[in-house]
Amino acid sequence: MTSSSVLDSVRRARQGVAVAGPGRPGGRRPRRLSSRGLTLLLFAVPAILLLLLLNLYPVIYAGQQSLRDGDLVDAGSFVGLQNYAAVLTSPEFWRAAGFTVVFTIVGVFGSWAIGLGLALLLRTRVPARGVLKVLLLLPWVVPIVVSSTSWNWLVATPQSPLPLIAKALGFGDVLFLADPLLAQITVCVFKVWVSFPFMMMMMSSALASVDTTVYEASRVDGATPRQTFRFVTLPMIARSTYISWILMTIFCVNDFPTIFLLTGGGPVDSTQTLVVLAYTTVFQNFQTGPGVAIAFLMTLVLIVVSVTLYRQIRKAGIE
């Protein structure tokens, strides 16, 4: 059976079982705000105003700080966009930005692949499935301080278990957190390890919402398991997938404790991400302007990525 015929049959099946039902002729009708909706909106206005006040002032104040050359005590004089220019021309910034991109890509797609695989596995008849779910959630549930301390014990010194095992296998003295490349790999693996339970829960929820009649239709049409996964499972969980990617991207870019507790950004700044660089710039080098400018540039990138992924949800026609 060809992939195109499977895809056509899946589309026909989805039109029959979609949450919104079959398409309405003439497009969607504009909805009017009912009295109940207006009442709910009026109740929500105080909370919205409070959130705006609590978040708007810090953002405005931080924006002013990014345009000055002060420190934590003195606001300093107005320098305009000089802080942004200095940051964007700094090799240290681009080195941190490069590792942030790698760290985010590995963290997002590595945890998603493992989480999706485990979610599919848990849908089968696995012995002691309830106990297994609890155990798989532990990396996400355990505080990051405990997890990073455990990983430091595993890899930090030549007397740690993993370096001893590597030496016994003939690899010599492997210093996972002293070698720049090995430190980057260790940090990325650690991020995937603490993040895959979140992805597993997101994908498990998405798979549970898929109507089983879609799978029955694909089996009737003779689709193979690989075709079913590609043309049924992935399209049907696309919305949850994109949402999980948005959330995990935000988590990875803003992840300060994972890097700081495991390596502190070292060795020789090889594992320094933008959020760690912003922290060291403000609280160790006492350069508030450039540090806040880095934070604003991070925010801008996150907004662009989030909007791009959100548009992918709309393009897929699954909202």
Query: What is the DSSP track for 225-244?
Result: HHHHIIIIIHHHTHHHHHHH
Higher pLDDT, 249 or 2: 249
Establish if 112 belongs to a structural domain.
Answer: yes
Establish if 137 belongs to a structural domain.
Answer: yes
Model confidence at 150: pLDDT above 70: yes
**Tens of pLDDT, residues 101-116:** 999 999 999 999 999 9
Q: Report d(CA 199, CA 243) in Å as an integer.
A: 10
Establish if 148 belongs to a structural domain.
Answer: yes
**Tens of pLDDT, residues 14-36:** 554 444 444 444 445 556 667 77
How far CA 214 is from CA of 94, 125, 167, 229, 239, in Å, comes to 47, 21, 52, 12, 17
- pTM score, whole prediction: 0.81
Under the banding of pLDDT at 50, 70 and 90, the label for residue 56 is confident
pLDDT above 90 covers what percent of the chain?
31
Domain of 108 in residue numbering reads as 96-286
Under the banding of pLDDT at 50, 70 and 90, the label for residue 12 is low
Model confidence at 94: pLDDT above 80: yes
Question: What DSSP string runs through 160-193?
Answer: SHHHHHHHHTT-----TTTSHHHHHHHHHHHHHH
Residue 23 is predicted with a pLDDT of 45
- Other residues' Cβ atoms within 10 Å of the Cβ of residue 206: 20
Nearest to 112 by CA among 205, 302, 259, 242: 242
Nearest to 109 by CA among 317, 311, 309: 309
Establish if 71 belongs to a structural domain.
Answer: no
Nearest to 92 by CA among 255, 273, 264: 273
Residue 198 is predicted with a pLDDT of 93
Establish if 224 belongs to a structural domain.
Answer: yes
Q: What domain count does the chain have? A: 1
Residue 251 is predicted with a pLDDT of 92
Establish if 235 belongs to a structural domain.
Answer: yes
Establish if 299 belongs to a structural domain.
Answer: no
Establish if 110 belongs to a structural domain.
Answer: yes
3-state secondary structure 84-96: HHHHHCCHHHHHH
Give mean pLDDT, residues 184-193: 94
Q: Report d(CA 255, CA 243) in Å as an integer.
A: 18
Give mean pLDDT, residues 225-232: 84
The amino acid occupying position 281 is T
Q: What is the dihedral angle through the alpha carbons of 174, 176, 180, 182, rounded to the nearest 10 degrees? A: 90
Burial 217-243 (b: 16+ CB within 10 A, else e): bbeebebeeebbebbbbebbbbbbbbe
- CATH assignment of the domain containing 103: 1.10.3720.10
Q: Report d(CA 228, CA 223) in Å as an integer.
A: 6
Model confidence at 154: pLDDT above 60: yes
Q: Which stretch, 107-121, 135-149, 200-214, has highest mean pLDDT?
A: 107-121
Query: What average pLDDT does the chain have?
Result: 84
213, 13 in Cβ contact below 8 A? yes
